[in-house]
Chain A
Amino acid sequence: MVHEETVYDALDSAHGGEGQWAFGTGFDEPLAGVDTTVPAGVEPADLGAYCLMLGDDALVLAQRLTQWVTAAPELEEEVAIANTALDLLGQSRLLLARAGSVGVLGRSRERATASIPDEDALAYFRDAEEFCSTGLVEAPNGDFGSTMARLLVAATVRLAVFARLRDSRDPMLAAIAAKGVHELAYHRDHAARWLLRLGDGTPESHRRAQAGVDAVWPLLADLFSPTDVETRLAAAGVAVDPADVRAEVRGVLTEVLTRATLDVPGWPADVPPRGRTGVHSAELTVLLAELQGLAREHPAATW
């Protein structure tokens, strides 16, 4: 068996024993060795922008879910939430690295030193207005019922998009989606089972689950309005037009809520994309301060 004393020793020795493995070592660049050629006829800037949309959704939701760690109702649920967050973080890493591989780095490179890998530069050194996540994922968790209602919606939309992205003309997006589909199916079904349990449980759990659903519903308004980038890439067979998943998403959500004895609120009218174009609530700024504080204070942190 080949093992160092600890995993950190192995990482450290792989990097010349500099004792620096946190930010900026590049030891774990997730696309190492992957062919990152852009498909013919596709604008790299569009592809990168699209990867940021999908990557930011996952990164922000992962951070929100992580806020339940040490506070979840039971240990098994804490592990489930943490695993869900970890899956999303992994999807985000691949997608941000893909954006970086086609040169889409926003203004992160003005702030991040050259030794910091693209994915970290994008995650830690962009401000809120450069994020393309939707309002759905940035809203605070609320109680457990609200958290599961939001996770159900977010995972249902993402799973529907990823299932189609498996056929993307960009082989990297197709590969990321093919991995992600299995993970997202677990996330969606986990949240759906909780809504069944809460909705069909006690009067109090029903009340809270319904309140969570009612609170998350207005956030569906801008999920299905494509940006120009998505429209162009969908026409090129690279991206998914979010309008194409609307019917499937509504079908799944209606089925879950009905079986959970919860009311399905009226579907909000579509509005032009907000989060995708950098329009966010102040809550995202607070979340990013927590996420980015350490990396910005100590960009080459060692511990």
Chain B
Amino acid sequence: MRADLAAPALEDARAVAETVADPELPLLTLADLGVLRDVRTEGGTVVVEITPTYSGCPAMGVMRADLVHALHRAGFADVDVRTVLSPPWSTDWITAAGRRKLTAGGIAPPGPAPTRSAGPVPLQLGPSRRTAECPQCGSTDTEEVSEFSGTACKAMRRCRACREPFEHVKEV
């Protein structure tokens, strides 16, 4: 066990936390997804901050358990995983590496998130204006099949060029 947590140890802890995969998108790490907000030390404790993608994200408990487990195995005895709710997670926080891994895994990465303005949220009654490139053939001629998919953060689309269905991380 590590007695002190000097700067090199903090870097180690951060590196360990950054290897932990997202339970629902295991091709990405929590760091790739932008869910891992901070790793720091407070006294001898490694404090990790994570934020849920959606309010109902059922994976928060697993993320917390995976982080604690990974850091314990790396020799950090004292680990505190905290939830932060504000500012709310945005798909803009998915890293460039995360976006490449999504595409390689057959999932279209999100475009820029819509501007978050104060005041009433305007109705959107037409078909979604989102666009996405087919991760299989690269065509931009794709259509949305459903705004909801296997996880809260994805929509279902279909490529009109190669006819393959695919998932798209929707912009929030």
Contacts and interface: CB of A to CB of B under 8 A. Distances in A.
Nearest to A174: B86
The CB with the most chain A CB atoms within 10 A, among B66, B121, B125, B152, is that of B121
A252 B86 contact: no
A11 interface: yes
Interface residues of B, number: 49
A88 B56 CA distance: 7
Contacts of A176: 55, 85
Given A90-B54, A166-B118, A32 B125 contact: no
Contacts of A27: 61, 64-65
The CB with the most chain A CB atoms within 10 A, among B57, B80, B85, B125, is that of B85
A10 B58 CA distance: 14
A14 B64 CA distance: 9
A196 B55 contact: no
Interface residues of A, number: 61
A33 B86 contact: no
Interface stretch (A138-146, A180-188, A218-226): A180-188
A33 B84 contact: yes
Contact of B148 (A7, A28, A80): A80
Nearest to A89: B56
Contacts of B85: 34, 94, 172, 175-176, 178-179
Interface string B110-136: 000000001111011100000000000
B147 A186 contact: yes
A87 B55 contact: yes
Contact of A3 (B26, B54, B57): B26
Contacts of A93: 55-56
Contact of A13 (B69, B123, B124, B149): B69
Given A34-B82, A90-B56, A166-B118, A193 B125 contact: yes
B55 A94 contact: yes
B81 interface: yes
Interface string A8-30: 00110110000000000001101
Interface in B139-166: 145-150, 152, 156
Given A83-B152, A175-B86, A189-B123, A2 B56 contact: no
A117 to B, nearest CB: 11
Contacts of B119: 163
Interface of A: 1-4, 7, 10-11, 13-14, 27-28, 30-34, 76-77, 79-80, 82-84, 86-91, 93-94, 159-160, 163, 166-167, 171-172, 174-176, 178-186, 188-190, 192-193, 196, 248, 252, 255-256, 259
Given A86-B152, A175-B88, 4 more contacts: A2-B21, A14-B65, A87-B55, A248-B120
Interface of B: 19-21, 23, 26, 49, 52, 54-62, 64-66, 68-70, 73, 80-89, 118-121, 123-125, 145-150, 152, 156, 172
24 contacts: A1-B21, A2-B21, A2-B69, A2-B70, A3-B21, A7-B23, A7-B59, A30-B83, A32-B83, A33-B84, A76-B146, A76-B156, A83-B149, A90-B56, A93-B55, A178-B86, A178-B88, A179-B55, A183-B152, A186-B147, A189-B123, A189-B125, A190-B147, A259-B125
